[in-house]
């Protein structure tokens, strides 16, 4: 197993608030994995605050990637998060091909809680579906699962509905799928499907909402896999990590709008 791992991460960067790259970097670093960040957009703070400013970095990204080619940069995995521009999808596909990256994981950031995020359009969903053809792993939440399959968004899919429709998502490209934010029998967790073999991992539901939990889950999942765990093992561990982290946030009365206090939770990995 390679002990000198490097992951390139394409995601947004917030100056204030714990989400996206400010979660990806510390979690992956906790696994002794190097992180090469590519910010898709620079925000003053995450969008759950009452206001924010944002600066699209698409044009700069292409120039950065050209320099990485000159460095003959090597990456063991590619983590793709927020893509706000069609050109960024094109760039992501080119990175996969030009750098010959062996493992690509896509977090299709489209929506949550039975709604698409405000900036997301049908075109964004189409572009994400196009990207999935090049992905090895996709980790949608239940809202994104429905959006990718053109299912109604106003109803959270049950565990059985997800199991029955998982092959439709496989047909879009990735054969390894982890669906998050699943709820069943008063518990919440994840379902993983590895080439059709399904396993579910549920924990007691902690009734709070904190930004950044999806980013933390995805980063932990990738970290565990790069360190040698199977998809099933990694999904179980990442689900347990998130349960313990959110429970601790509730017990310690963390600032929930700011985002998950990830630095305090790394010891739980």
Distances (CA, A) of 181 to 95, 101, 129, 143, 167: 29, 28, 20, 9, 19
| Confidence at residue 44, expressed as pLDDT on a 0 to 100 scale | 97
For residue 256, is it within any domain? yes
Query: Which H, E and C letters describe the chain, residue by residue?
Result: CCCCCEEEEEEEEEEECECCHHHHHHHHHHCCCEEEEEEEEEEEECCCCCCCCEEECHHHHHHHHHHHHHCCCCCCEEEECCCCCHHHHHHHHHHHHHCCCCCEEECCCCEECCEECCCCCHHHHHHHHHHHCCCCEECCEHHHHHHHCCCCCCCCCCHHHHHHHHHHHHCCCCCEEEEEEEEECCEEEEEEEECCEEEEEEEECCCCCCCCHHHHHHHHHHHHHHCCCCHHHHHHHHHHHHHHHHHHHHHCCCCCCCECCHHHHHHHC
| Confidence at residue 118, expressed as pLDDT on a 0 to 100 scale | 86
Non-local (6+) Cβ contacts of 192 within 8 A are: 176, 177, 178, 179, 198, 199, 200, 201, 231, 232, 235
Q: Where do we find the tokens 């080439």?
A: 195
| Confidence at residue 87, expressed as pLDDT on a 0 to 100 scale | 96
For residue 1, is it within any domain? no
Note down the domain range covering 48: 6-268
| Confidence at residue 3, expressed as pLDDT on a 0 to 100 scale | 76
| Confidence at residue 1, expressed as pLDDT on a 0 to 100 scale | 58
Q: In whole angstroms, give the CA distance from residue 251 to residue 268.
A: 15
CATH number at residue 216: 3.40.1190.20
Our count of domains for the chain comes to 1
For residue 108, is it within any domain? yes
* Its pTM surpasses 0.95: yes
* Residues of the chain under the 50 pLDDT cut: none
pLDDT tens profile 197-234: 999 999 999 999 999 999 999 999 999 999 999 999 99
Q: In whole angstroms, give the CA distance from residue 118 to residue 130.
A: 21
| Confidence at residue 89, expressed as pLDDT on a 0 to 100 scale | 97
The region that residue 29 occupies, defined by phi over 0 for left and psi between -120 and 50 for alpha, beta otherwise, is: alpha
For residue 190, is it within any domain? yes
């Amino acid at each position: 197993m390679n002990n000198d791992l490097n992951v390139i991460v394409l995601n947004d960067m917030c100056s204030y608030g714990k989400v996206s790259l400010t979660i990806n970097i510390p979690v992956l670093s906790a696994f002794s994995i190097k992180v090469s960040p590519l910010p898709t957009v620079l925000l003053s703070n995450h969008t759950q605050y009452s206001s924010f400013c944002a600066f699209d970095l698409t044009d700069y990204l292409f120039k950065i990637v050209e320099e990485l080619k000159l460095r003959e940069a090597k990456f063991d995995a590619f983590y793709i998060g927020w893509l706000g521009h069609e050109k960024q999808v094109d760039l992501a596909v080119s990175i996969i091909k030009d750098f010959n990256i062996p493992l690509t994981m896509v977090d299709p950031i489209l929506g949550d809680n039975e709604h698409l995020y405000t900036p997301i359009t049908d075109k964004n969903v189409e572009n994400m579906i196009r990207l999935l053809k090049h992905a090895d792993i996709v980790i949608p939440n239940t809202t994104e699962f429905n959006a990718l399959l053109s299912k109604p968004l106003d109803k959270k899919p049950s565990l059985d509905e997800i199991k029955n429709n998982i092959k439709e998502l496989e047909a879009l490209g990735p054969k390894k799928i982890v669906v998050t934010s699943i709820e069943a029998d008063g518990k919440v967790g994840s379902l993983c499907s590895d080439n059709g073999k399904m396993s579910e991992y549920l924990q007691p539901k902690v009734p709070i909402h904190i930004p950044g939990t999806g980013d933390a889950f995805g980063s932990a999942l990738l970290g565990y896999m790069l360190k040698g765990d199977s998809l099933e093992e990694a999904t179980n561990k990442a689900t347990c990590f998130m349960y313990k982290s959110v429970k601790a946030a509730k017990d310690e009365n963390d600032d929930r709008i700011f985002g998950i206090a990830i630095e305090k939770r790394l010891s739980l990995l």
